Structure 1
């Protein structure tokens, strides 16, 4: 049954990959508009997150941002089969512009490794492919439930030599080795971490469980850090890779200080193109114990 499910998903990915970028984005936007209008769980989570994180917006502004966010998230979902199935050169041709790429060269010229932080903003799959085409890179990932799909995911993400490592002890040791060798470690910094390596720190003014992995990697290897995202350009024109310096304090010995700097670095990027952030993720579900769960009225965390 699992194999049948895998082959069904793989077939759908390949069919979608036959689309052009503009067609995939139009279809994704259309599906997103339907999901938003039907007031699905996706829209409900988006609305909750926006009300918590951007209370300064008017009701009308939040409504428009909610609609735009759901549309961009479904665009990303339809773009991923293209990034996974298209020839690498064709994918890299979608990058029309880079901003701040010299910062990567400067960071690596120091002889130290680089922790590259890519939140769920724009198309993070394209960002990963872009950097793995230029640098020796390892990327942290969480394995999916289907073993067959994990093999497929590793295959497509490592086409240019990027090494995928699990978020376990062995994987973290491998990331440290690559950083000590002057390579790049890619991390998605805006997920609720599992296990005990976390701290509660503010994200858009709300304390949420935040990874301390980035601080540990930097402390143990002396690596630098930068933040990045692939911004979707209008009209199916492609993407702009943006690289910036993070907020100071990512490697602080105090885990709360380090986690706060991490969240602020992500927040600064999100505020640049808030409609392209994945507000559909339940980022606020892991709050300090005893506080209300915003997604489950009447339930405490």
Structure 2
């Protein structure tokens, strides 16, 4: 579950003006469920084009990330790629309206699930490696909507109660998933794995040095969570990558074959291998990866700051 689920306690109330604004925003998102998909994507193109201009801080972050990961690209190539990224980002955000509100048959028709589906059959303990592509919510929805197996997702509470409720209900719409709060730790996740619930895990962001090691990401040392190999080892689980690619008629969600001989027991080497394989997935749709995150925010001891802002 892409880092959200029902809150165990109400989120903070920001007051009547904020509540009205949030409810208007949610009303707009629910409208997306009623519109033809080409209209939604056109609105996403317009929104993404505007965000590329006005969201200067996020644009600088994305440009810095891209320059570090693709140093051979010219400035013009980088700028064009970042513009496309903002469009994909906005389109995927508006797509959440129909993912969570449109009739079930519409959602399933727009989500093509393909690849090694046999890897998710049966009851074998499984950790699903779901990288932060813009379509990560579509990937989760495709699995829970198309497959009969019950899945497990990790939850991070949203600050606004209305948004938290909407996102939680949307992400639990299909398949009656099992939800584990982030505060419950690895033990609760390992228990779910041993009980046969595939865990949808997104471990490829920079969350600081805690539970992380510095391993290369496109040749740059990056603080990377070790949760994928650790959970796979704790739960005796196979690792099955799932990637989602935004396409004109919805999303193509691919279940990749399980990684052989993984994990090895060497946490640092296994985490580095995760990043190496992630680079291959990114190469297939580079503009759809989540470049607006400060992936290199945490630096090795003595290294200079990466983002000059």
Which band: TM-score by shorter chain? 0.7 to 0.9
Q: Do the aligned partners of 1:248 and 1:261 also contact (CA within 8 Å) in 2?
A: no
2:88 to 72, 78, 82: 72
Q: Give the TM-score, by structure 2 length.
A: 0.85
What is the Cα deviation at residue 248 of structure 1? Answer: 5.7
> Hey, what does 2:298 align to over in structure 1?
286
Gapped runs of 5+ residues in structure 2?
A: 1-14
Q: Do the aligned partners of 1:114 and 1:224 also contact (CA within 8 Å) in 2?
A: yes
- Deviations, residues 129-164 of structure 1 (Å, cap 9, x unaligned): 111231210111321122443233222211221223
CA RMSD of aligned residues (A): 2.3
SS at match of 2:72: coil
Q: Give the TM-score, by structure 1 length.
A: 0.87
Inter-partner Cα distance in structure 1 for 2:140 and 2:150:
12
1:125 to 131, 137, 161: 137
> Hey, what does 1:103 align to over in structure 2?
119
Q: Do the aligned partners of 2:113 and 2:255 also contact (CA within 8 Å) in 1?
A: no
Inter-partner Cα distance in structure 1 for 2:215 and 2:45:
33
- Deviations, residues 167-203 of structure 1 (Å, cap 9, x unaligned): 22x2533322221122210011222235721111111
Q: Do the aligned partners of 1:113 and 1:222 also contact (CA within 8 Å) in 2?
A: yes
2:239 to 216, 225, 232: 225
1:59 to 61, 75, 78: 75
SS at match of 1:32: helix
Q: Which has the higher contact order (CA 8 A, sep 6+)?
A: 2
SS at match of 1:93: helix
Moved more, 8-17 or 156-165: 8-17
In the alignment, does 2:215 pair up with 1:201? yes
User: Residues 56 and 120 of structure 1: is their aligned pair in 2 closer, same or farther, counting only changes over 3 Å?
Assistant: same
